[in-house]
Amino acid sequence: MSTRPSVIRQTIVTPIILIVALLIMAALTYQFGSRAFNRTAVEMFINIMVVVGLYVFVGNSGLLSFGHISFMCLGAYMTAWLAIPPVMKSITLKGLPAWLLHTQLPMWVATPISGVFAALFALIIGRVIMRLSGIAASIATFGLLGVVNNVYSNWDSVTGGQGSIVGIPPTMNVWIGWLGAAVAIVIAYLYSISRSGLALRATRDEAVAASASGIDIVRERLIAFVVSAFIIGLAGALYAHFLSIVNPGAFYLRTTFVTLSMLVVGGMYSLSGAVSGVVVMSVLIELFRNLEKGISLGGHTVALPNGVQEIAIGIITIVILMYLPMGLTRNQEFSWRGWPLQRRLARPVQTALKELN
């Protein structure tokens, strides 16, 4: 008999709660949602994958990264190269090597390959960038984003340049979106309870003490970087299948900041925060989108003027951060202990993030 329960026993509830909650959302959307609403839900699931991927690196290492959307770009374009029918590819993407030009892979194969491609790229570039610390590393990831965007926007024969590549089979639906989000959550959870995840969080909280205890900061950061790149590469692949077109403008500053905002609003140091940030922001965006379209109140249609949506979202973000600077979840994980009988525990809730010792 061990004197304390295992890490998994104590923390497994968090990913289960998250995945089940998302499953309920997916089922409700599938049952009752319109076509447009289904697309919104799929978009939300893809955003969850991206933000959970960001959390794996940002949340565990404490370093802000502006470069992760470039992995989404890599994944999406890899999927485009693999999944577009050869007939179309030979017209639009003449510069591809012959073996790539003549293959067409189904979604189930193309998606993991895209994730691995992004992860490999992260492994190579991460060996360089992860040597830096603090804000220098953040800016270097910014540089990474700039380089990838510039190359993909201008390498016309391989990426179609600034324009869009069309013809990726649109095979996404809510269930695949949910599955993707669930996979992302499981990977993120397994990483954060792994030896490397624990070590990385130790470096986040007390870098000097951690390295004095023999933790190789560069190595642990690199592992997290690669894992998060894999998740975001998968998200990029699903995004390509969702829109069936890709263009480099979709993977640049706007997406970077929107996803970072979602992470920070939810609580950047917790997995539950990553997921709930996306869900809350998506609900708000959808709400205001509908208000802009107009709602009928007793015969009158009341509509907000166009553009109010973004302004309101911005203001709400600021207000949330003003009152909850640690995010909506205050960096805590959802857990089931004692709930609903004892909501407030005498001692702090053990989370996947708080060191278990």
Half-sphere exposure of 136 (CA within 13 A, CB side): 6
Binding status of residue 2 toward another protein by CB under 8 A: no
Q: Which is nearer to another protein, 109 or 147 (CB)?
A: 147
Binding status of residue 96 toward another protein by CB under 8 A: no
Q: Least distance to another protein from the beta carbon of 161, Å?
A: 9
Q: Which is nearer to another protein, 296 or 306 (CB)?
A: 306
Do 100 and 83 touch, CB atoms closer than 8 A? no
**Helix, coil or strand: residue 246:** strand
CA 295, CA 298: separation in Å to the nearest integer?
Answer: 10
Binding status of residue 133 toward another protein by CB under 8 A: yes
DSSP 60-77: HH----S-THHHHHHHHH
Binding status of residue 298 toward another protein by CB under 8 A: no
Instruction: Sketch the per residue contact string, 61 through 80, with another protein: x for CB under 8 A, - otherwise.
Output: ---x----------------
Do 57 and 68 touch, CB atoms closer than 8 A? yes
Binding status of residue 226 toward another protein by CB under 8 A: no
Binding status of residue 291 toward another protein by CB under 8 A: no
- Applying CB under 8 A, the span of 73-81, 133-141, 183-191, 238-246 interacting with another protein comes to 133-141
Binding status of residue 325 toward another protein by CB under 8 A: yes
Among 228, 261, 332, 335, binds another protein (CB under 8 A): 261
Determine the distance from the C-alpha atom of residue 104 to the mean position of all C-alpha atoms in its chain, rounded to a whole number.
27
**Helix, coil or strand: residue 289:** helix
Q: Which is nearer to another protein, 116 or 139 (CB)?
A: 139
Q: Which is nearer to another protein, 17 or 132 (CB)?
A: 132
Do 135 and 255 touch, CB atoms closer than 8 A? no
Among 200, 202, 265, 278, binds another protein (CB under 8 A): 265
Binding status of residue 154 toward another protein by CB under 8 A: yes
CA 38, CA 178: separation in Å to the nearest integer?
Answer: 12
For residue 133, give Cα distances in angstroms to 35, 70, 228.
46, 20, 18
For 341, phi then psi, to 5°, come to -70, -50
Do 97 and 254 touch, CB atoms closer than 8 A? no
Q: Which is nearer to another protein, 25 or 145 (CB)?
A: 145
Binding status of residue 287 toward another protein by CB under 8 A: no
Vertex 131, ends 133 and 142: CA angle to 5°? 65
Among 28, 105, 136, 283, binds another protein (CB under 8 A): 136
CA 70, CA 225: separation in Å to the nearest integer?
Answer: 13
Binding site for another protein (CB under 8 A): 64, 128-129, 131-133, 135-136, 139-140, 142-144, 146-147, 150-151, 154, 208, 253, 257, 260-261, 264-265, 268, 305-308, 310-311, 313-315, 317-318, 321-322, 325-326
